[in-house]
C-alpha cells in the first residue's frame, strides 16, 4: 500500500489527519497531544504519526511547503489511504487590518494565483471552498476554547515573497498562506473534507513577525481547535 512518498500500510493512518507544513510541527503535536503515537512515515523526512486524542484515532503528518507538495500528500491520503478529513494546521500572514499576530484564521474559502485547477479542465473559474462539516465543527471548537479567531476568505499563493497583498486586502481577504487551495480542490475531487486552520505568524503589510521557534512549537490554539474538531468528527 506504500507510495513513493509514504511508507504507511493500509490501516496505519486515521480517518482524520492534521497536516502542518513543517514535519517538526507534526512531531510536536504527536508528542504533546496524542496518546501512544506511532510513527508511520519518515520518507523524505515528512514525518507522520498516528495516536489517539481523547480516545479518538488521529494522525498528523507534514505536507511540506506549497501547493505542489501538499497536493501530492493529500491526494495520496484521500485516494490511497482512505482518509476522510484533512485539517491543515499552519502559519499565515495577516492581510486584513483587524487580523493580528497569533490570531487564528479559519479558511472558509481560498483565492489563489495558482494554476492547480487547470488539471480539471473546468469551463470556468473554480472557487476552492472548505468542507462545511469541518468548518462548523472548528468554529464551535474555537468558540468553546475562547480563542481569538476569524473566519473568511484566505489567499493561497504560489509565491512567498508577494507584492500584491494590498490588492487582496481591498477584496476582504484575511490572510495569505501557500497550501489551502490545493487541499480544498483535492478534497472536493475525492468527495472528502478539507479545512485550513492557520495561526498568524507575521503581518507583512505592517512589518511584524513571530520567531522561528514560536512558529514551530507554540501555536497551540490552532492545534487544539483542530484536535477538538477531530473529536467532534469521531
Domain range summary for the chain, segments of one domain joined by +: 16-233
Helix (H) or strand (E) holding 106: strand 104-112
Instruction: Examine the pLDDT at 215 and tell me if it is beyond 70.
Output: no
**CB of 19 closer than 8 Å to CB of 87:** yes
pLDDT for residue 216: 60
- pLDDT band (50, 70, 90) for residue 2: confident
Residues 13-42 pLDDT 10s: 999 999 999 999 999 999 999 999 999 999
What mean pLDDT is predicted for residues 190-208?
96
Q: Check if 22 is active-site.
A: no
What dotted CATH number matches 16-233? Answer: 3.40.50.1580
Whole-model pTM: value is 0.96
Q: Which residue has the cell 503515537?
A: 37
pLDDT for residue 14: 98
**CB of 184 closer than 8 Å to CB of 130:** yes
**CB of 18 closer than 8 Å to CB of 49:** no
Q: Which residue has the higher pLDDT, 10 or 82?
A: 82
Residues in the chain: 234
How many angstroms separate the CA atoms of 44 and 75, rounded? 17
Out of 12, 84, 202, 221, pick the active-site residue: 202
Amino acid at each position: 500500500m506504500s507510495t513513493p512518498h509514504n511508507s504507511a500500510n493500509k490501516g496505519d493512518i486515521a480517518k482524520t489527519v492534521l497536516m502542518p507544513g513543517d514535519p517538526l510541527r507534526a512531531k510536536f503535536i504527536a508528542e504533546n497531544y496524542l496518546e501512544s503515537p506511532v510513527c508511520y512515515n519518515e520518507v523524505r523526512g515528512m514525518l507522520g504519526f498516528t495516536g489517539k486524542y481523547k480516545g479518538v484515532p488521529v494522525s498528523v503528518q507534514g505536507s511540506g511547503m506549497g501547493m505542489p507538495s501538499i497536493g501530492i500528500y493529500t491526494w495520496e491520503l484521500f485516494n490511497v489511504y482512505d482518509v476522510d478529513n484533512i485539517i491543515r494546521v499552519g502559519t499565515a500572514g495577516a492581510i486584513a487590518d483587524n487580523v493580528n499576530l497569533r490570531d487564528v484564521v479559519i479558511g472558509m474559502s481560498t483565492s489563489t494565483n495558482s494554476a492547480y485547477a487547470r488539471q480539471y479542465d473546468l469551463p470556468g473559474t473554480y472557487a476552492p471552498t472548505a468542507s462545511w462539516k469541518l468548518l462548523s465543527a472548528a468554529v464551535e471548537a474555537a468558540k468553546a476554547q475562547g480563542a481569538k479567531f476569524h473566519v473568511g476568505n484566505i489567499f493561497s499563493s504560489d509565491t512567498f515573497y508577494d507584492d500584491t497583498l494590498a490588492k487582496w486586502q481591498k477584496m476582504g481577504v484575511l490572510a495569505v498562506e501557500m497550501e489551502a487551495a490545493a487541499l480544498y480542490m483535492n478534497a472536493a475531487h475525492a468527495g472528502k473534507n478539507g479545512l485550513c486552520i492557520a495561526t498568524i505568524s507575521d503581518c507583512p503589510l505592517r512589518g511584524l513577525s513571530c520567531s522561528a521557534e514560536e512558529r514551530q512549537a507554540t501555536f497551540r490554539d490552532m492545534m487544539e481547535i483542530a484536535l477538538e474538531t477531530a473529536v467532534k468528527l469521531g
